[in-house]
Amino acid sequence: MLRRTTSVFVIISLLCLGVLVAGCCAPCFPSDELEKEIEKEIEKSIPKSPSDSKDDEDGSSEDVSGEDIKDVPRYPGSVRTESMDVSSGDNVSMSNTYEVDEDTAKVFEWYKDKMPSMGWKSVLTTGGENGGGSQTYENSDAICTVIVENVGEGETKIIATYATKL
């Protein structure tokens, strides 16, 4: 249930971010085409069974299909559990979810240090429970939000959303 709730949250966040970046530019995206693409990406991002995005039979973890977000660092040792790309033309809009066996506060601080070193300017940072929270950044081309949350003892979920500016 937590995975589905988080997926819905990510989808809603990504859509809101897209509307914010697009400035409600409806003529840029014919609504039927956009709706069909979003539905396709939602279907692709929901694992068919819990084993699709977690451990294999031999205990190893593998990324689900998708691509890491260009210019957004990936926490070392993390596993991509969800990936969504609703890009169209020059408008890039992506969201990836990762999980890692690491202290949530350590992951939060890693992004807080790493993003500025890669040319991102911090716009908003909010602290959450158990050392996590949300960090929003921008550069000349895009906006990125990184959400870090504790999902269990020593387990952390990272949700990175990215959208190009128009």
Strand partners, 136: 124, 145
Residues found in the chain: 166
Structure token digits, residue 147: 């959400």
Q: Spell out the domain ranges in the chain.
A: 2-50+77-164
pTM of the model: 0.67
Q: 81 is written with which tokens? A: 């559990």
**Which among 160, 140, 139 has a CA at the least distance from the CA of 148?**
160
Taking the C-alpha atoms of residue 69 and residue 121, their distance in angstroms, rounded to an integer, is 17
Q: Tell which residue, 52, 64, 121, has the closest CA to residue 95.
A: 64
Evaluate if residue 129 carries a pLDDT over 90. Answer: no
Helix (H) or strand (E) holding 137: strand 133-138
Given a contact cutoff of 8 angstroms between Cβ atoms, the answer to whether 144 and 120 are in contact is yes
Query: Bigger pLDDT: 47 or 67?
Result: 67
Kindly report the CATH number that applies to the domain delimited by 2-50+77-164: 3.30.530
Cβ count within 10 A of residue 83: 21
* pLDDT tens-digit series, residues 60-110: 579 999 999 989 999 999 999 999 999 898 899 999 999 999 999 999 999
Q: List the single range of 30-44, 72-86, 130-144 with lowest mean pLDDT.
A: 30-44
Q: Is the pLDDT at 154 greater than 90, yes or no?
A: no
